[in-house]
Structure 1
Amino acid sequence: MRLYAIGDIHGHLDQLKAAHERVFRDGGRDTVIAHVGDLIDRGPDSRGVVQHLMEGRRAGRPWIVTRGNHDRFLPAFLQRPDWVDPGLSSGQHWIDHPGLGAAATLASYGLDAAMPRAALLEAARRAVPDDHVRFLAGLPLWHLHPLALVVHAGVRPGIDLQRQQEQDLVWIRQGFLDSEADHGPLVVHGHTALERPVLYRNRLNMDGGAAYGRPLATAVIEPGAVHLLTESGREPLSPE
Structure 2
Amino acid sequence: MLHRLFGKRSRAGSPAAERRPRAPSDCRVYAIGDIHGRLDLLQALHEQIAADCRARPHEGSDTIVYLGDYVDRGPSSREVIDCLLDAPLPGFAAIHLMGNHEEAMLRFLDDVEAGPAWVSFGGEATLLSYGVRRTPNTLGRQRFEDMRRQFAAKIPERHVGFLRGLRLSYESGDYFFAHAGVRPGVAISAQQPQDLLWIRNAFLSSDVDHGKVVVHGHTPTDAPEIRHNRIGIDTCAFASGVLTCLVLEGDDRRFLATGSADWSQHVAAQ
- TM-score, normalization by structure 1: 0.86
Aligned to 2:49: 23
List per-residue Cα deviations over 1:116-174 (Å, max 9, x = no partner): 22221111111001221121122111001124111000001121223211111111112
> Identity rate of aligned residues, in percent?
38
Counterpart of 1:124 (choices 151, 160, 174) is 151
1:74 aligns with 2:105: yes
CA distance in 1, matches of 2:132, 2:204: 37
Residue pair 1:3, 1:147 contacting (<8 A) in 2 also: no
What's the counterpart of residue 103 of structure 1? Answer: 124
Instruction: Report deviation, 1:39.
Output: 0.6
Preserved contact between residue 196 and residue 209 of structure 1 (Cα < 8 Å): no
**Take 2:168 and 2:268, find their aligned partners in 1: how far apart are those partners?**
27
Corresponding letter in the other structure for 1:102: G
The residue correspondences of 1:30-179 to structure 2 (distance < 5 A) are 31-56=62-87, 61-83=92-114, 92-95=116-119, 97=120, 100-113=121-134, 116-179=143-206
Structure having greater relative contact order (Cα 8 Å, sep ≥ 6): 2
Q: Which runs of 5+ in 2 are unaligned?
A: 1-26, 137-142
What per-residue deviation string (whole Å, max 9, x for no partner) do you get for residues 17-42 of structure 1?
11111111112597211111101000
Per the alignment, residue 12 of structure 2 pairs with: none
Task: Quote how far apart the aligned CAs of 1:238 are.
Answer: 6.2
Kept in 2: contact 1:201–1:239 (CA 8 A):
no
The one-letter amino acid of 1:19's match is L
Q: Give TM-score scaled by structure 2 length.
A: 0.77
Q: Determine if contact 2:46/2:89 at 8 Å carries over to the other structure.
A: no
What secondary structure sits across from 1:211 in the alignment? helix
Change in Cα spacing, 1:57 to 1:139, as seen in structure 2 (3 Å) is farther
* CA-CA distance at 1:46 after TM superposition: 0.4
Q: Distance in 2 between matches of 1:213 and 1:112?
A: 27
Distance 2:268 2:155 in 1: 42
Letter in 2 for 1:136: L
Counterparts of 1:199 and 1:18 in 2: how far apart (Å)?
24
What one-letter code is carried by the residue in structure 1 that aligns with 2:103?
R
Give SS of 1:2's match: strand
Confirm or deny: 8 A CA contact 2:130 2:155 kept in the other structure.
yes
**Residue 188 of structure 1: SS of its match in structure 2?**
strand
Amino acid at match of 1:174: N
Q: How many residues align?
A: 229
Superposition CA RMSD, Å = 2.5
**One-letter identity of the residue aligned with 2:47:** E
Letter in 1 for 2:95: I
Structure with a larger share of its residues in helix? 2
- Any conservation in 2 of the 1:155–1:168 contact (CA below 8 Å)? yes
Q: CA deviation at 1:2?
A: 2.2
Q: 2:235 touches 2:244 (CA, 8 Å); kept in 1?
A: yes
Q: Taking structure 1 as reference, are residues 112 and 191 closer, same or farther at Cα in structure 2, changes over 3 Å only?
A: same
Q: Which amino acid aligns with 1:94?
A: W
Distance of 2:213 and 2:257 partners within structure 1: 22
Residues 238 and 80 (structure 1 numbering): CA distance in 2 closer, same or farther, change over 3 Å?
A: farther
Return closer, same or farther for 1:222/1:167 CA change in 2, 3 Å cut-off: same
The structure with the largest alpha-carbon Rg is 2
